Structures are given as structure tokens and as C-alpha cells.
Structure 1
């Protein structure tokens, strides 16, 4: 995601070519005619989080997904703790490597995942870039000062990139850059962090990349200021779990790739930054925004034809794509072959009202209902819209996808159906896999796009 240090204004696709000359496709930095870069997030086993019994399709080691040319870049998700024990970060790679199932470096909560070094290097040897994604839906992100942000840049450089440290979780494998998937915490000092990191990368012995994964509402609440201040190589805009998702492509009031294209050409310090369409790789990869491959093919081809900033497609995530009939390979075909897409349809004339906040009091609880057989609410279980739980003696129904937001809390995820009329309750029975906390999609915002969300927004479903 990071722009090549030697050519900071060249787009990611061009940078990939300079880094991996063996790749055969041609690319012109002044045209998007041959753009076909595909990005696939790996590390969270989000399919396993929603399909606990289908272990055959759970996440595999990263090199499993590098066996063909469908994907060009793999952000490893996630570095979810910035400052943990011993002052070092921590990473959680779900069923592959985590602090519960793997050894940690002494005095830290940084798991030793050095068994992945050869898998990472295998992907790199095939001309793919592998980066570390910071943040995620539950990530503890943020800095308290410029000095701390600069210090963290040095830590990332030494632990994951071209520096040296005795606590490198991927051993001798040198990652190719950093992806910012910031969904919560403080927004301060990220410009300092990225600037310091960029400076270190500029002195590196190979190209490094910096990318971001903002949500589609513009400007992004967490990354908006930093992508305006420092040149990014690409932004993987999450066009899902929001009103501007792929499912609203034909509504000109909602679909806003043009806004991101304008940002790329007029505001971004890197005028050659590439804007990617981030899409869920299956219907279970996000709360909303999934479209079938035929629809996505049309969207990708039309966007490629209309906007020179278009860089390709990003998918959340690897496990979902493979379980969904190799959705990633189908995206490759959409970008590199097949017949051209029809011209875009005329925009819908339907008028939509921008999301707004309200100061009115919530409606009173309903009269109640039977709670027989209904599970009690559990903080580390994901709920879909329509799911019911019991909390504080009341029956609650989820309005939409919810994770970690207590019924009756400020997030407003739940409708209070009233006091239980039956106490024949079922205990909160669930399978608490450690990766469940990582599969957290975004909700449609209820405030204006420019406001800081009151609840976590998931980069987990970015691509």
C-alpha cells in the first residue's frame, strides 16, 4: 500500500511492477486501461467465525492463497494492539497465530509467528506484496503525542519491515509495507506516525507501501485527516456496511466513488494514488453491501472505464472468497478479461435524505414477549439483524449486525421488546473462538458521514 520510496508519486500498480518485474502484465502510469490489481485481506478467518462447523473452509496459511495470479497484495490482519506489555504491539491472526495458542516473546504479548516466515516469502517470491494491517474493528489504536507516534513508527520498522529486532514475529521475512485499518480510538498524531514511517521507508533497500482502508462515507472519520496530509499509495475504500455500499451502486445519491476520485485528483498529496473498490467476498463477510459476481463485474468494469484513479478491487477476506467459489478468481476475470461492461445506467432520480442524528427520546419499551429459548446477550458474540437476546430481564431484537454493543446502550443496536413474559431462559450457549472478535462489520452510520462514529466501524470487511 505504501508508495515506492524511490518514486513516491507513482501508483501502487506501477510500484508492484517495479518490485516484481517478473509479472507479465503491462501498465501505464497515465492510464487505467490495464489496471487489475487485486487485494485480499488475510488473517482473521472471518468465514470460520460465521461457519463454526465448516472447518474444511477455515483460513489456511497465507501461501495457500498465493498459488495462482488471482491476487497481487495481501494485508495481514491485524496488529490489534499498539502498545502492549513490554511496550511492543500485539497481533492476532485468528486460527493461525495468536497469544492464546502460540508462544509470546518474553515480557510481551507479541506472539511468535515465525513459522509463517517461509509462507510470506513464498508469496513475495511470486511477485506479491505482503503488508501488515494496523487496527481492525477491535484494535487499540492511537497515540498520545508526536514523540509516541514517532517511536511507534520505529517499532513497526524494526519489528515488521526493514529494521532489526530480536522480537520479529515473522522472523526474517521482511514485509512490504503497512495498511491502516483504523476504526476506533484517537485520530491524533497519525500524520506524524505515517510521515515518520515514510521517512524510514525512503531509506529502505526495496520499495515499501502505505495504504489505508477508509469507509466509503466521505470524509472517513478516522483516516480523513491523515490521507489528506501524507501521500498514500492506495486507499481500499470499504463500499459495504454503509449507505454508500455496492448494493446502492445505481443510486446517485448514495454511491460516491466519484467523490473519492475527486479526492484522489485534487486533495491527496499523491495525485497518482489509486482508489480501490472494497467488497465483501461473500454474503456472510459483511452486514450489507455484498453483491453477486455478475453485478460486481459490471461495477468494476464501469468504474474502471469512468475513473482514472481506479486501482482495482479489495476483498474481505481470504477465507470468505475461497469458500464462495473462489470469488477472488472471478474478480480477476472481471478486471482482466471478458467483454466490456455496458454503459452505466442513468442515475436514480429518487431523492434520499442524508443520515441525521436525532435528539428525541427513544420510544418506550414494548409490552414484552416470551423469552423461552432465547439466549442471554454475550459481549463477544456477533448478532445479525432480527436476532433476539435477553438482557436485564428484557427481550431485545437486533436492528442490524451488532458486536459488543450492549442492549440499551448509546449505539442503538437493539430494540427493547419489553420485559420477558417467561423466564424459561436458555443459558448463553455459544462457541467462543478467539477469532470471533475480529469479524466485526460496520453498521450503517446514523450520523452524518463526516462525524466520528459513536461505535466501532469495521475494517474487517474491507477489500
Structure 2
């Protein structure tokens, strides 16, 4: 997903929200915003402090690294806490504080290291993710909607998640438009825009598209987009896409100014809708 710990990740991540109420529909024209990853650097501040910045619509907690087949679940939050000593329990109240601020908090399952049953480390593992998507979508009820999201690699189509995305079950797709030389802005910005257009035009109707970017130059090998370039050259063009959803950033430790600089340009509206459950399948290969 990103540089450092998750950059080398070659795994499926399932992202689940924690205790979110309501079931209003997601609409890209009103609900664009910024997503940030938090949890893999002990010097990035606390979770509730991240939410209190007022710049993020989604905060993804990374990562739950061990789960499934009766294994004891292990939460890896780098230097933030130690599950062996139950010091991670404090985040229950911080999650609730974030939700009270209108921020959606999600738990990322997987990561570069760990022991779990979801892995897409080679193209052959692209099988059956559409079945998993259908199984998860079946949990939706009139009272509680399950939202599905995917974070595939760029360029389109993703070698692992494309079949699942084409089912039309996904509400949003966060594409990694960095560390991908074939489609990021390493050579020129029009290559990045062409990649966005290709992905946008290929998504099923009703799916939001987010442009995934590094929050600082040092967090990615390629694909960093300076804020002024994003604001004046990229966003005016990608926001014309009917399925534009916003920007996804890795990661909070590196985001010292980027999100604050781009927030007004990213957002179409400050409207906040509540959802019950959001799940995202993330491709790494």
C-alpha cells in the first residue's frame, strides 16, 4: 500500500469500520474527502488527535496482522501500544471520539507481516475475491448497509481485484497512483491524468474513485504530486469525473501539511453521511 512497513506488502487487506451508525447512501458529488492511514509510526500522534485535525473524512487504523482459523488476533500499531499488556484498549474511547467528530474510523486487516488467511501474492490468487465480495454484501439489510471498497494497484485493470470490482458491488475504489511507474506522474502529469481517466471510465456505475497519493516525497519511490500541482493541474480535471470521490493519503506520520493544503480543493461539500459498515479489499502485488 505504501512506503516503509506497508510498501512491501503483498497481501489482501480488508478494511472494516468500527461501530458506525446510520445508513445514508454515499454520493460522490457530496461526499468527497481525504482518507489517511494511521497506526504504523509511534511518532504520528494519537488517533483522536488525528481526527481532531478536521481534515480527514476517513482514518484507516493499520494493521490487524494476525487473524483467522482460530488464531489469536494480533493488532500491530507500531509504537502506539502493546497488545500483550492490553495498552491498546485505550483506542476504544478514541474511536468513539473520532466518530463523534464525524470521522469514519476503519480497521485495516493484513499488512506486510502477519499470519492470516487472505493473501494475493501472485496472479493466481485473483480467484474467488468476487465470491468474498458477494458474501460480504449479503450482510446488508434495510437497516444496516454494508459498503464495499477496493484499493487496487494502478494501472488498470488490477491483476487481482479486477474481477471482483467488475461485479458492481463496490461502493468506492482507492487506487494507488504512486510507486507505479506506468501510471504515476514520474515522467509527466498527463500520464497520471490518463490513468485516472482509464480507471474512471472502466468502473461500474455507482462506484466512487479515489486517487491514492503519498503525503510526502519521502514516503514513496515514485509518484509524489506537489500540493500546488494537485490543486491547480490535477483536481480540476479529475473532479469532473462523475465518480470522483477524493484523495487517499499514506500516511499520517508524513502528513505534516499536505492534507491541510489540499483539503478545500479536494472537497465538494462538507456534508457528512453515516454508514454502518465499510469493507475494503486492497490489492498488493
Normalising by the residue count of structure 1, what TM-score does the alignment of the two structures yield? Answer: 0.48
After superposition, what is the alpha-carbon deviation per residue over 1:133-161, rounded to whole angstroms, capped at 9, x for unaligned?
A: 23333455545xxxxxxxxxxxxxxxxxx
Partner of residue 130, structure 1:
105
Partner of residue 239, structure 2:
304
Partner of residue 189, structure 1:
128
Select the structure that is richer in strand: 2
Are 2:204 and 1:229 equivalent residues in the alignment? Answer: no
Query: What is the distance in 2 between the residues matched to 1:41 and 1:277?
Result: 14
Q: 1:67 is matched with which residue: 52, 65, 76?
A: 52
Q: Is the 8 A contact 2:184 2:192 kept in 1?
A: no
Are 2:262 and 1:331 equivalent residues in the alignment? Answer: yes
Q: Is the 8 A contact 2:23 2:143 kept in 1?
A: no
Query: What is the distance in 2 between the residues matched to 1:125 and 1:293?
Result: 29
Task: Report the RMSD for the aligned CA atoms in angstroms.
Answer: 3.1
Q: 1:230 to 1:5 in 2, by over 3 A?
A: farther
Listed as ranges, the gaps of 5+ residues in structure 2 are 1-14, 269-282
What is the deviation of 1:6? 5.7
Query: What is the distance in 2 between the residues matched to 1:113 and 1:317?
Result: 20
Aligned length in residues: 250
Q: 1:253 to 1:73 in 2, by over 3 A?
A: closer
Q: 1:80 is matched with which residue: 62, 65, 74?
A: 65
Partner of residue 210, structure 1:
148
Q: Is the 8 A contact 1:239 1:289 kept in 2?
A: yes
What is the deviation of 1:126? 1.1
Normalising by the residue count of structure 2, what TM-score does the alignment of the two structures yield? Answer: 0.75
Q: Is the 8 A contact 2:193 2:234 kept in 1?
A: no
After superposition, what is the alpha-carbon deviation per residue over 1:367-388, rounded to whole angstroms, capped at 9, x for unaligned?
A: xxxxxxxxxxxxxxxxxxxxxx
Partner of residue 259, structure 1:
198
Q: 2:40 is matched with which residue: 39, 44, 47?
A: 44
Query: What is the distance in 1 between the residues matched to 2:40 and 2:160?
Result: 21
Query: What is the distance in 1 between the residues matched to 2:209 and 2:166?
Result: 14
Say which structure, 1 or 2, has more relative contact order (CA 8 Å, 6+ apart): 2
Q: Is the 8 A contact 1:240 1:289 kept in 2?
A: yes
SS of 2:248's equivalent in the other structure is strand
What is the deviation of 1:115? 1.4
Partner of residue 102, structure 1:
83
Partner of residue 273, structure 2:
none
Listed as ranges, the gaps of 5+ residues in structure 1 are 15-28, 49-57, 105-110, 144-181, 338-451, 458-463
